[in-house]
Structure 1
Amino acid sequence: MSIMTEAEAKTILDKVIALSTADECIAELSGTIDGNIRFALNNVSTSGVISNTDLSVRVAFGKRVGSASINEFSDAALARVVKRAEDLARLAPENPEFMPAVQRQTYRATDTFSAATAAITPEDRAEVARASIAPCKAQGLIAAGFLNDSQSFVAFANSNGNFGYQRATDMDYTCTVRTEDGRGSGWVARNLQDASRFNVDNDIQIAMRKASASADAQALEPGKYTVILEPAAAAGLISFMFNFFDARSADEGRSFLSKAGGGNKIGEQVFDPRVNVYADPRHPEAPALPWDGDGLPRDRFVMIENGVVTNLRSSRYWAEKQGRPAMAQPGNLIMEGGTKSTSDLVRETQRGILVTRTWYIRMVDPQTVLLTGLTRDGTFYIENGELKYPLKNFRFNESPVIMLNNIDELGRSVRMGDGGSTMMIPAMRLRDFTFTSLSDAV
């Protein structure tokens, strides 16, 4: 019962709404079937399928809100979960930032479902593991990775007559390949909605080449260098910065987008003119659900245009308080790039450093979005358009705001997954990227 049809979901939600005696009621059903396989030391370690379906109910008496959830759907169970939510609401203090449920909305479906991904079998997952492990064994390398595929549905309704239903799929693959002596490491990741576009044979070769090439890494003095960040290396830094694209934190002086004298930097040139970032639920490579968590319809939402900050996200409460129209919270992040691959950027670089991956990223200064983190799984010195030798990994201290003002060239944008959020991020060649120390990790 993990994946309900629209009719099945609506029947349950209608019952929940009818059972409530509160001033308003919002009910949401969600279900997932997650398949996975994990391998390490060139052997499969775990595999399985997890399925789950949940119902959450939120009710309000005035500004007093209560919520409860359950994973059974008999009439008696539905009555219990509604009563529990209402009992909690009567006990709750008033929420000064309470916003009522949205009125009936019209949603335009987005292409979030792939039959190929939903049809993945345990045998398919086993074949991915075999295709990852076998070539590594043949070359004396050691593979460790994880494949997760998911199909899901979400449906919601409220006492104002609003209703939505949609299915979605997602697939994530990561693999780390090490040399037998542990001195070389390579990595590859792939996030897709449509599994028919996945080619494990090509992807594993990327990780294997980097693992073999990254042994015998040499130390390079920390400092400022021209770098090429592969999309995966750039994604963690860029996504961190967009956590601050919030109107309230900017208006209240808590963000790098706050103005010294009050207000925010909407309309100001903050980045290089080549920086264009937006959200679009109908993007063909990274579709998102057509509504946000409040049930507002999503549409194209431009955040940066030609380096100028054009919009910041606002909660419904903050939008109303500031007299602004409410806009749905974005469901993806699209950063436009160019047409060149990472390899093309390398070939056109006289001297620089190629970074495969960044990790363990932490905030240093929220006001400038200064971040610190480490490189890993393949860092190389570039000379005359070639990867000359592997480098020991670095710790970096860098702000994505500064990065996006030091652009030399942007490559082709690639789909990346980040904790359930989908992004399109380009490879980047950047000037004066700051490495502060060396790391012995590979």
Structure 2
Amino acid sequence: MTERELAEQVVELVRRSAGPGAHAEATVSRKDLALTRFANSFIHQNVAGSSVEVRLRVHVDGRTATGSGSLTSPDGLRELVERTLVAARLCPPDPAWPGLTPPTPMPSAPAADEATAYAEPDERAARVRAFVDAAGGLETAGFCRTSQEFAAFANTAGHTAYGRMVEAAMDGIARTGGVDGVARLAADRLADLDGAVLGAQAAAKARAGVDPVELPPGRYEVVFEPAAVADLLQNLSYWGFNGKAYAERKSFAELGAAQFDPAVTLVDDPLAGSGLPFDIEGTPRGALPLVTAGTTTGVAHDRRTAAAVGGTSTGHASGESPTFGPFPVNIRLLPATAHAHTTGPERAGGEVTGPVADPDTAALVAGVRRGLLVSDLWYTRVLDPKALTVTGLTRNGVWLVEDGVVTRAVRNLRFTQAYPRALAPGAVLGLGRVPVRQPARTEPVWWSTPPLHLASWNFTGNASG
């Protein structure tokens, strides 16, 4: 049976077992993932797999329970329904039950790229080969992946939905003398991933990172490349624009307040790239403005958190939202000019020879009096969720910039920084013109951002401590 038929069958089984007074919603998703991994400059793993998940939520006699499984046989579906209904009878009453999504028109999603959805292993291998060759003998490692997801939804209110998403992504490093350079890109089409361009960028960064100097801790002006900005967007999403955190007053977000620099506009926009047109409650998804010219304008909600604040769901229900809360997963930081939307980095002419791989970043670096160019952030952990104070480390390349010129590689630094404060009014000195889509560890999560020039970033430690 198709995903749509399976979802409808699960709902019908609930009707038969629990009667007409039962409320139920079912989501069936099938994910196909193909992954080509490489290390020590050769492919060591090529895997492909397909998984199916059936998720059921029921509300019976004022009590709510959720169950899931991967068995789609008639017996498997009946067992899922039976144990979920048993769980509902054992649960405490749920007075905050938000009800089911009524029949609602679905938005049109971008057409999936069939060549990407059914890409052969040698197509991914060719991009790995190009990455390795472009690194010019440096040790390389990383992956190239293609994925697709089919999802269907049905509930006892008569609402149904169906969607599909396809994504390609590449993430690789080049290494020399213990120094790594990185390049990443996600796209709707495998054809938009150029392994040679990414490999050349990673290798140039690695070569430019040798013999680093140690700088003292302190506040530095910074230019963050898209990979580093992606960490800002991810933490702002999970902890700040989270509807549960907002409803419980644990988020920094204040709707209508000018909390960010006027240069900052953030939009959660799943249909601008790989994303499904509905969430697991069947709510349609579309562009959600989070920050408009510096003013906080929205947070992500599922039906439960929306009801708690007297709003409506924004289509961000997920398997994590009942506990952690609903959060955006496809944020775009809009570039300096609205017309400059592209699917990948602008390419500099000629050979890439230094840490600045594109003219977009170079233009921001040219405006730095004395500061740092940062490729990537990692191992970031939230210290204060309300202020969104985060600690973490730089990674894959840091360079000193003096009078607009990259002068020396710098050893990695630890930072402790309130992310909203770093983006506050007057703190953003510049934005690039070209957004670069960054892949996350799991699909279909991605962050689209240009490079970013900030007035101050608080580095609290160096290699010595």
The question of a shared fold, defined as TM-score above 0.5 by the shorter chain, is answered with: yes
Do the aligned residues in 2 keep the contact of 1:241 with 1:400 (CA within 8 Å)?
Answer: yes
**Is the Cα contact below 8 Å between 1:338 and 1:413 reproduced in 2?**
no
Q: How much has 1:59 moved relative to structure 2?
A: 2.1
CA drift of 1:40 comes to 1.2
Q: State the distance in 2 between where 1:315 and 1:28 align.
A: 15
- Contact 1:280-1:287 at 8 Å conserved across structures: no
1:336 aligns with 2:323: no
Alignment of 1:359-374 (within 5 A): 359-374=378-393
Q: 1:125 is matched by which residue type in structure 2?
A: R
1:278 aligns with 2:302: no
Asked if the contact 1:347/1:385 (under 8 Å) is kept, the reply is yes
Q: How many angstroms does 1:195 deviate by?
A: 1.1
Q: Contact 1:29/1:54 (CA < 8 Å) preserved in 2?
A: yes
Q: Is the 8 A contact 1:214 1:378 kept in 2?
A: yes
Query: CA–CA distance in 2 between the matches of 1:129 and 1:250?
Result: 43
Distance 1:409 1:164, change over 3 A: same
| Cα shift at 1:414 | 1.8
Within a 5 Å distance, the mapping from 1:95-134 to structure 2 comes to 95-111=94-110, 113-134=112-133
CA distance in 2, matches of 1:384, 1:321: 51
- Kindly tell me: are residues 31 and 248 of structure 1, through their superposed partners in 2, closer, same or farther at Cα, counting changes over 3 Å? closer
Residue 440 of structure 1: CA displacement? 7.2
Gap runs ≥5 in structure 2: 317-327, 338-358
Q: Distance in 2 between matches of 1:318 and 1:42?
A: 48
Letter in structure 1 aligned against 2:74: D
Q: Kindly provide the amino acid, as one letter, of the partner of residue 202 in structure 2.
A: A
Residue 409 in structure 1 maps to residue 430 in structure 2: yes
Partner of 1:316: 303
Do 1:112 and 1:288's aligned partners in 2 also have CA atoms closer than 8 Å?
no
**Distance change (3 Å), C-alpha of 1:315 and 1:79:** closer
Counterpart for residue 50 of structure 1: 49
SS at match of 2:30: strand
SS, match of residue 450 in structure 2? strand
Is the Cα contact below 8 Å between 2:247 and 2:308 reproduced in 1? no
Verify the 8 A CA contact 1:226 1:433 in the aligned structure 2: yes
Question: 263, 269, 288: which is aligned to 1:301?
Answer: 288
- Which amino acid letter does the alignment assign opposite residue 332 of structure 1? N
Matches within 5 A, 1:8-19: 8-19=2-13
Q: Give the whole-Å Cα distance in 2 for the aligned partners of 1:432 and 1:321.
A: 37
**Contact kept in structure 1, 2:233 and 2:331, CA below 8 Å:** no
Is the contact between residue 392 and residue 438 of structure 1 (CA under 8 Å) also seen in structure 2? yes
Deviations 1:158-179 (A, max 9, x none): 1111111111111221111111
Q: Structure 1 residue 387 and structure 2 residue 411: aligned?
A: no
Cα deviation digits, residues 285-322 of structure 1 (max 9, x gap): x2532222321122332121121112233342343343
**Over aligned residues, Cα RMSD in angstroms?**
2.2
Shift of 1:426: 2.2
What percent of counterpart residues are identical? 29
**The residue matched to 1:268 in structure 2 has which SS?**
coil
Structure 1 pair 430–414 and aligned structure 2 pair: CA distance change class (3 A): same
Q: 1:132 to 1:299 in 2, by over 3 A?
A: closer
- Contact conserved, 2:27 with 2:54, CA < 8 A, in 1? yes
The total of aligned residue pairs comes to 422
* Cα distance, 1:81–1:393 mapped onto 2, change above 3 Å: same
Q: CA deviation at 1:333?
A: 1.2
Q: Please, which runs of 5 or more residues in structure 1 have no aligned partner?
A: 258-264
Q: Which moved more, 1:82-91 or 1:147-156?
A: 82-91
- Which residue, out of 235, 253, 260, partners 2:249? 253
Which one-letter code corresponds to 2:373 in the other structure? L
Aligned mates of 2:144, 2:288 — CA distance in 1: 32
What is the CA–CA distance in structure 1 between the aligned matches of 2:251 and 2:276, rounded to whole Å? Answer: 28
**CA–CA distance in structure 2, aligned partners of residues 251 and 81 of structure 1:** 32
CA–CA distance in structure 2, aligned partners of residues 110 and 47 of structure 1: 30
The residue number in structure 2 matching 1:262 is none
Return the alpha-carbon distance in structure 1 between the equivalents of residues 246 and 29 of structure 2: 33
1:289–1:331 Cα contact (<8 Å) kept:
no
Question: What is the deviation of 1:200?
Answer: 0.5
- Tell which deviates more after alignment, 354-363 or 97-106: 97-106
Contact 1:110–1:281 under 8 Å retained in 2: no
Query: In the aligned structure 1, how far is the partner of 2:311 from the partner of 2:304?
Result: 10
Q: Which residue of 2 aligns with 1:28?
A: 27
Q: Please report the TM-score for the alignment, with normalisation by the length of structure 2.
A: 0.85
